Structure 1
């Protein structure tokens, strides 16, 4: 293989040769701009198409991530000029090779406020053992990607970060064949905020036709963390010392700030919101429901869209880990006892109950009794994991899975991840030794990271990587994760509205129905006051 130079719509790219975990070569192209730099007059605005360049652009190293605080090391990284993607492929088109390969587009997580596509975390060496083309993207985060105003004349309706993803997918449609990728066979996949983003793209008319399959790992558009608080304008005005929360004045002041000062404002708002804790899990600067307009990303509640059937109907995989809530121990190191102080803060915003009301107190007490009703349970860390697993992630993933199975003519699949090995990335970062699989642990089985140990032949780590990679790439190739050849693994059956089929990816592969049934029935009973949530 020779050092590759290819030509995309914007100009020529110089890539490099890399090797996968089997020491097989593939081509790597990094730091490719898919939109104009969102700086100056384009700060906070919808992304614009990329501009051409002259000469040969160096595409041998990662592009900058969005200006943010590193999720692990907490240092400030990146810049506003961040709309870059990476492409990895085993083959380039030639006179003797014109076969186009399935494309997989990865959307990273990070609570819409951190993360990137960098190879330190999302190395392609596992997935590139299969004959697919892999794309990993950056998008705008925090205030840069999710500032929103009601005043339509300001041109900042929100969801710029999600619209970045749409622009990246448009770039893929126009250019991926130059990397032997098939623009008519694109699978989007992501984890956490990336999983929620995948689900939002399924629901958005702006993304129609840009992809053909989707995998949402540990996140969906119904999760509270995938929605923005509605009090940010007031907080911004307060921090900017403005007498009234005038949106035009706030935008003008924000646009005048250098990137570091703007980020300081963003962090002050985040701290203020954390102190208030009255948004039922919603985040500062996250996706919003926009007012109808030609460029709107989403204009109705996600559940209403799913139940109407008016979305991009494609095969979808939803999934979760057994103890998603371990993430909260990593974040906050819970005090003893670990039982939440105020259960009203755990009531989902979708229930629309007034905090402090009799209804709110009644629901809060039911949640407390279900998760902490046994004497001594207030000190049991696993109860802390379970309440945050269910309330922050699993319940809404299960709701989304069932509702899609009821309204789609395409297969909907569900998995649970229970395998524990040296590749469980977030448990390693958090030094967690309790049983269970943390939120984010699945990343270590799809991507090679800086912390990935060498895979020993025949080990659980190697076996599990091969399973994840095979399931994910089978789904990308065929719309069905089950292997084409004979396999000892049980069949992974699609979900039915009244029968939630799933597989468990553990030390062994097992199949079952209606996982976590008692806990999920509890939440169905809580949500019975909202008939629209019933299947």
Structure 2
């Protein structure tokens, strides 16, 4: 240590100066922030796959956070960040010293959510205080978002096939393989975990040949590659139109997009329709790189085809959901006095079902959905609970449930499925939106894993402290061994969490931990029937 709060380590690119922090119980850990894992993607590197990081001379200051990627702040909505944002943070209980060799610890790599449009690895949302106490190394990363991370061009010679943001994550995982042992992290025991778009990214990494061997376990919280909102499309023509480049060929459009100031590019991006729809892909998100070099492509086939083929990175998986994911759409509606609910039930049919909107089949399926969720009633904002359940299933659960079942069928590695029903002061999305209906909102699990800028003080022996301990034990047990139950029965583990088999075993994470089989079975049967029976019958 240079002084009592500073530490210096050597990674492949040079020397890094970190510092000692204290967690929420006054324990100490080492913090290294703003570490570049790739070359800044500026100028002609804008939209391109990430390049290896550059070395530096002297000691690089890693005591403060680096730039977040250019976007709107996830809560405050003002513009933040920079294009020079491909950095990660490492938090570790100890570091390697030449005179004292440490025991290598499990590594947990956090991938933030934000609809592939916003979010970052910043300490204000993802403080490691809770997880670090379980003797693991925590890495949080930035990756390019918006069109900077997901622009797709069709001409393979232009080298912009899409998914640059996901390739950033691959580069971060490669950096971790090369350097994490310096921080007492085990490069042979890496768990990737994320929530929402971060969970979808985790799932995409399982399906990508580029990520093979870079991680060994995966946790997908409230999202997967099969979700309707986790798929993008080529929005270049729309973007070009907003910039006055309509009809220009792709090469000229790319030249212009790489030359203009980031502020102008961002203004054009904001003119795209980024609303959440079940029935169509989004302009910014993961895409299939059909015409690109297969050795460099992140994704070359539909996710569902990859899963069914069994040709993917088969690692132990935790996947699950919050009991009312659909509250998210209420949270993000600005006019709380006039909340909008689904009235056209074709809107609720996921585009992955490949049903032509407005067709006889589409209208028939829409009627089935309306009848199931509303019966003879007409939807109004006086009964938001029905709306929450519909959106939970249509936008989130039907795909997450399907992914859990299919991976259990096609992988030799265990799949652990969960539902979160826990409500305390740490459910900050629901509490911030002042939602009174029952259930746990999308994102409310984050408060049990990370200390945030709005986390309350955690008093000893409260439900909040007990719940943090349960969550962090389950997640770190899994990171350690691939089994969330751990090697010994914890005092608060009321039930053993079994993996999915032909039965959909799951763990309900509430004030108690309760095991069960086939959650929301009636609701999931509706969606399975739509896929397996109704569509076939209507096509006859």
Equivalent in the alignment of 2:498 = 493
Query: Which 10-residue stretch deviates more, 312-321 or 90-99?
Result: 90-99
Contact 1:325-1:386 at 8 Å conserved across structures: yes
TM-score, normalisation: structure 2: 0.94
Contact 2:458-2:464 at 8 Å conserved across structures: yes
Contact 2:278-2:349 at 8 Å conserved across structures: no
Query: Which 10-residue stretch deviates more, 330-339 or 370-379?
Result: 330-339
Contact 1:338-1:384 at 8 Å conserved across structures: no
CA distance in 1, matches of 2:498, 2:42: 47
Equivalent in the alignment of 1:282 = 281
In the superposition, relative to structure 1, how do residues 337 and 13 fare at CA in structure 2: closer, same or farther (>3 Å)?
closer
CA distance in 2, matches of 1:336, 1:139: 35
**Map 1:31-430 → 2, pairs under 5 A:** 31-94=34-97, 95-230=99-234, 232-244=235-247, 246-270=249-273, 274=275, 280-291=279-290, 292-293=292-293, 294-332=295-333, 333=335, 338-375=340-377, 378=380, 379-430=382-433
Contact 2:92-2:184 at 8 Å conserved across structures: yes
Give the Å deviation of 1:58: 0.6
CA distance in 1, matches of 2:95, 2:240: 52
* DSSP 3-state at the match of 1:15: strand
Query: Mind listing any 5+ residue stretches in structure 2 that lack a counterpart?
Result: none
Contact 2:319-2:418 at 8 Å conserved across structures: yes
- Is 1:444 the counterpart of 2:447? The answer is yes
Deviation digits for residues 391-431 of structure 1 (CA, Å, limit 9, x no counterpart): 11111000000000000001000111111001012112222
* DSSP 3-state at the match of 2:271: helix
Give the Å deviation of 1:336: 5.5
CA distance in 1, matches of 2:277, 2:442: 24
* DSSP 3-state at the match of 1:54: coil
* DSSP 3-state at the match of 1:121: coil
* DSSP 3-state at the match of 1:158: coil
* DSSP 3-state at the match of 2:76: coil
* DSSP 3-state at the match of 2:478: helix
In the superposition, relative to structure 1, how do residues 334 and 499 fare at CA in structure 2: closer, same or farther (>3 Å)?
farther
Give the Å deviation of 1:98: 3.0
Query: Which 10-residue stretch deviates more, 44-53 or 378-387?
Result: 378-387
In the superposition, relative to structure 1, how do residues 303 and 334 fare at CA in structure 2: closer, same or farther (>3 Å)?
farther
* DSSP 3-state at the match of 1:401: helix
- Count how many residue pairs are aligned between Structure 1 and Structure 2: 525
Give the Å deviation of 1:489: 1.9
Contact 1:492-1:503 at 8 Å conserved across structures: yes
Contact 1:338-1:380 at 8 Å conserved across structures: no
CA distance in 1, matches of 2:348, 2:84: 37
Give the Å deviation of 1:229: 3.3
CA distance in 1, matches of 2:278, 2:257: 24
In the superposition, relative to structure 1, how do residues 347 and 245 fare at CA in structure 2: closer, same or farther (>3 Å)?
farther
Give the Å deviation of 1:99: 1.2
CA distance in 1, matches of 2:524, 2:316: 24
* DSSP 3-state at the match of 1:402: helix
CA distance in 2, matches of 1:339, 1:68: 28
**Map 1:2-41 → 2, pairs under 5 A:** 2=4, 3-41=6-44
* DSSP 3-state at the match of 2:363: helix
Contact 2:229-2:277 at 8 Å conserved across structures: no
* DSSP 3-state at the match of 2:193: strand
Equivalent in the alignment of 2:519 = 515
Give the Å deviation of 1:456: 1.1
Deviation digits for residues 8-28 of structure 1 (CA, Å, limit 9, x no counterpart): 000100000001222111100
Give the Å deviation of 1:335: 6.9
Query: Mind listing any 5+ residue stretches in structure 1 that lack a counterpart?
Result: none
CA distance in 2, matches of 1:466, 1:519: 31
Give the Å deviation of 1:147: 0.4
- Is 1:476 the counterpart of 2:471? The answer is no
Contact 2:190-2:215 at 8 Å conserved across structures: yes
CA distance in 1, matches of 2:182, 2:341: 54
CA distance in 2, matches of 1:187, 1:55: 32
In the superposition, relative to structure 1, how do residues 314 and 342 fare at CA in structure 2: closer, same or farther (>3 Å)?
same
In the superposition, relative to structure 1, how do residues 168 and 351 fare at CA in structure 2: closer, same or farther (>3 Å)?
same
TM-score, normalisation: structure 1: 0.95
